[in-house]
Amino acid sequence: MLIQLVMNLTDYGINSILYQRGVYPGDSFKREKKYGLPLMVTQDAKLQQFLTPLLKQVEFWLYKKKLKRLVVVISEIKTKEVVERWQFDIETENVDEEGPNSTRQKDEKKIRQEMSDVIRQITASVTFLPLLEEPCSFDVLIYTGKETEAPENWEESGAKLIDNPEQVELRSFSTSVHNVKTNVQYKMD
């Protein structure tokens, strides 16, 4: 159950970023109500084909306690220059998630409120982020331990950093097992 909450934040977080930043046209998203918020979720078949296996792999690595970080990178299509990096740092405690003797419990309502706060901040970030004036694409970088095997059709990538970025720490959220810290780095004009 806790892993599912982290998965939901990842899924809705990626969708919100792509919608809010205009990486995909607004009409390729539909409104869904979750966590007391109207969230935009893609209806684009190609984007769903990309995200579904990616999220399944993220879920697998969460179960295995291998996932360390997920980064959504937004780049200009023409120049390939990275203009934004949305980073989700994930720390997983080395305890049984839902064991009957677990002494570490956190109210699910509190967890959902924290998730809602993160999504709200992603949505509000359009007020301070520079306008994306050129058409952009995105990629998702996944950081795991060195010993972790990647799926066959995945490839190694550089960190896709931004030179001298501005950085804004966003809210974090936690379950009794996971701590998720979020930030956005962006290129100033």
Q: What is the distance between the alpha carbons of residues 96 and 123, in angstroms, rounded to a whole number?
A: 33
**Residues spanned by the domain of 11:** 2-186
Tell me 69's DSSP state. Answer: E
pLDDT per residue rounded down to tens, the chain (189 residues): 788 888 988 999 999 999 999 999 999 999 999 878 889 999 999 999 999 999 999 999 999 999 999 999 999 999 999 999 999 999 988 765 444 444 557 888 888 888 899 999 999 998 999 999 999 999 999 999 888 888 888 888 889 999 999 999 998 988 888 999 999 999 987
Q: What is the pLDDT of residue 170?
A: 93
Q: What is the distance between the alpha carbons of residues 27 and 43, in angstroms, rounded to a whole number?
A: 9
Q: What is the pLDDT of residue 176?
A: 83
Which are the contacts of 53, defined by CB distance < 8 A and separation ≥ 6? 151
What is the pTM for the complete model shown?
A: 0.90
Paired with 137 in beta bridges are: 75
**With the C-alpha atoms ordered 40, 43, 44, 46, is the resulting torsion angle positive or negative?**
positive
Q: What is the pLDDT of residue 101?
A: 44
Number of domains in the chain: 1
Q: What is the pLDDT of residue 123?
A: 92
Q: What is the pLDDT of residue 79?
A: 96
Q: What is the pLDDT of residue 124?
A: 93
Q: What is the pLDDT of residue 100?
A: 43
Token couple for 58: 């993220």
Q: What is the pLDDT of residue 103?
A: 52
Q: What is the distance between the alpha carbons of residues 179 and 172, in angstroms, rounded to a whole number?
A: 7
How many whole angstroms from its chain centre is CA 149? 21
For residue 172, the domain's CATH number is: 3.30.900.10
CB 58 within 8 A of CB 121: no
